[in-house]
Amino acid sequence: MRNFKLTVFCVTSIFILAACGQSGNEAPAMAEPEAADPASMASETMMDHDIGAALAAAMRSDEDTARDAGRKPAEVLEFLGIERGMNVIDLMAAGGWYSEVLSIAVGSEGSVVAQNPPLILSFSNGAYGVALSDRIGDRLANVTRLDSDWAALGASGAQYDFALSALNLHDAYYLESPEVAGEMLAAVYAVLKPGGVFGVIDHAGNPDGPNDKLHRIDKAIAIDLATAAGFIVEAESDMLGNSEDDHLQNVFSDGIRGKTDRFLLKLRKPAE
């Protein structure tokens, strides 16, 4: 198989969400015109469902793979129950770092919708939207971009097996409002199939801390939002935890950026 050299398109003008949302979607990979589809390659080379091996086999940028050590995407998606062939939605996808990971995990038999609400698209004259489109290009054949607010998403009639909010629930809650965060959770509930899973990852905050200024959120708030929307908390994991993070630093601070204490929730929509 021919080798293809990937270059990286870097979005440098965004400072509010560049490391915070799933949002480490800062550096989408761009491909030369004939670059192979990573999802298809991984699917063809893996006989069994091994997300870690599929990610290793895929053609991802060095900048993207460098973030794997802190984000543990294979372990996270295995904990959440991602399977090849699933139809999934990446919420507040920003530049699409996790959209590409999901693309590889579900393989060519599955599909990924990379959704961004107006909040994300408003930053830096739409730089995240440009970054996402550049990332998808003609590389990620099973990924579709969706620009949609929460009301439109909830009313879309779409049905997904899985949804992911990676490091961005705090943005909906604090950069917009608790009410908007509630609308987000209600929309996710509406578009998940009965029995579907909603994975939530975020920077852990303190119950009484200035979380809005630190780009964090208290796990209890996330759970309250989820249960109010109708979700069941099926499991929690500390695989992304860091006991040395006191939850009092801004997530962009030197020494803590990329190493924050993060909670991971596996939420399920009850089967009908």
Portion of the chain with pLDDT greater than 70, in percent: 82
For 227-265, write each residue's pLDDT tens digit: 999 999 999 999 999 999 999 999 999 999 999 999 999
Q: Is the pLDDT of residue 217 over 80?
A: yes
**pLDDT, position 7:** 36
**pLDDT, position 251:** 97
Top-confidence residue, 23 or 147: 147
For 162-203, write each residue's pLDDT tens digit: 999 999 999 999 999 999 999 999 999 999 999 999 999 999
In the block, residue with structure tokens 């630190």 = 214
As a three-state string, the secondary structure of 227-258 is HHHCCEEEEEECCCCCCCCCCCCCCCCCCCCC
Within 8 A by CB and 6+ apart from 41, the residues are 57, 58, 59
Mean pLDDT over 99-121 rounds to 97
For 68-93, write each residue's pLDDT tens digit: 999 999 999 999 999 999 999 999 99
94: phi > 0 → left, psi -120 to 50 → alpha, else beta; which?
Answer: left
pTM of the predicted protein model: 0.83
Angle at the Cα of 185 from the Cα atoms of 168 and 97, rounded to 5 degrees: 30
R_g of the chain computed on alpha carbons:
17
**pLDDT, position 39:** 54
- Whole-number Cα distances in Å, 162 to 35, 188, 205: 28, 9, 26
Give the domain ranges of the chain.
Answer: 7-268
In this prediction, residue 64 has a pLDDT band, given cuts at 50, 70 and 90, of very high
Q: Is the pLDDT of residue 225 over 80?
A: yes
In this prediction, residue 209 has a pLDDT band, given cuts at 50, 70 and 90, of confident
Mean of per-residue pLDDT scores for the chain: 87
Within 8 A by CB and 6+ apart from 209, the residues are 216, 218, 247, 248
Q: Is the pLDDT of residue 43 over 90?
A: no
**pLDDT, position 124:** 86
**pLDDT, position 23:** 45
Q: Two tokens at 183?
A: 């609308």
Residue 215 pairs in a beta bridge with none
Distance CA 115, CA 129 (A): 10
CATH superfamily of 7-268: Vaccinia Virus protein VP39 (3.40.50.150)
Asked whether the beta carbons of 97 and 42 are under 8 A apart, the reply is: no
Q: Two tokens at 77?
A: 């998606």
19: phi > 0 → left, psi -120 to 50 → alpha, else beta; which?
Answer: alpha
Q: For the chain, how far is it from start to end, CA to CA, in angstroms?
A: 47
